[in-house]
Amino acid sequence: MLLLTLAAIGVLGYAVWIWRERLQQRERASQERFAAFMKEVKPPPVVEPRTPLAAPREAPREAPSTLAPQKLLFEAAAKAGEAGEPVLAIQLYARLLSRFPETALGAQARAAIEAQKAKLAKA
């Protein structure tokens, strides 16, 4: 009877140990995914030169913070066009062009609008 009790305690201890290992693995994987996500979302800090004689940097044409919404609008409009929703696609392309008139995606958006209008005229 004593041997059976010891075996049951051993099995229970082993099950708890395995459960804790799996929980720790999940936690580590979750932290790694979160760190990778944060690295994608938050750009690294820009280190300014400390020397007073350094040449000033040129400002980027478009701030990185405005590039993400442009891409999202463009991709959403493209998917709407692929899904057979030309009216919605035209609206999304128009919103992209109205919010960001000097966007690098402007030529592609205008061409896509014309293609969607042609699709809409056929229907």
Q: Is residue 54 part of a domain?
A: no
Are residues 72 and 106 located together in one domain of the fold?
Answer: yes
Are residues 73 and 28 located together in one domain of the fold?
Answer: no
Q: What range defines the domain where residue 69 resides?
A: 64-122
Count the domains in the chain: 2
pLDDT tens for each residue of 57-68: 655 555 556 778
In this prediction the pTM is 0.47
Angle at 12 between CA 10 and CA 15, to 5 degrees: 110
Lowest mean pLDDT across 10-19, 32-41, 50-59, 74-83: 50-59
Question: Is pLDDT larger for residue 80 or for residue 103?
Answer: 80
Q: Per-residue pLDDT for 50 more than 70?
A: no
pLDDT tens for each residue of 86-112: 899 999 999 988 888 888 888 889 999
Whole-number Å distance between alpha carbons of 90 and 112: 8
Averaged pLDDT score across all residues of the chain: 84
Q: Is residue 50 part of a domain?
A: no
